[in-house]
Amino acid sequence: KQEVTQIPAALSVPEGENLVLNCSFTDSAIYNLQWFRQDPGKGLTSLLLIQSSQREQTSGRLNASLDKSSGRSTLYIAASQPGDSATYLCAVRPGETSGSRLTFGEGTQLTVNP
Amino acid sequence: DTEVTQTPKHLVMGMTNKKSLKCEQHMGHRAMYWYKQKAKKPPELMFVYSYEKLSINESVPSRFSPECPNSSLLNLHLHALQPEDSALYLCASSFREIRHEQYFGPGTRLTVT
Mean pLDDT confidence for A86-114: 87
Find chain A residues with C-beta within 8 A of B6's C-beta.
Answer: 43
**Coil, helix or strand at residue A9:** coil
- Distant-in-sequence contacts of B45-49, Cβ < 8 A, 24+ apart: B45/A101, B45/A102, B46/B76, B47/B76, B48/A100, B48/B97, B49/B74
B99 touches chain A (CB under 8 A): yes
B111 and B97 in contact (C-beta within 8 Å)? no
Residue A76: burial class (beta carbons within 10 Å; 0-12, 13-18, 19+): middle
| Cα–Cα distance, A105 to A88 (Å, whole number) | 9
Number of A–B residue contacts, CB under 8 Å: 54
Q: What is the DSSP letter of B41?
A: S
Find chain B residues with C-beta within 8 A of A97's C-beta.
Answer: 98
| Cα–Cα distance, A112 to B45 (Å, whole number) | 30
Q: Over the stretch A10-46, which tens digit does the pLDDT of each residue have?
A: 999 999 999 999 999 999 888 899 999 999 989 999 9
Q: Over the stretch B81-106, which tens digit does the pLDDT of each residue have?
A: 999 999 999 999 999 887 788 999 99
| Cα–Cα distance, A5 to A103 (Å, whole number) | 10
Q: What is the C-alpha end-to-end distance of chain A, expressed in Å?
A: 41
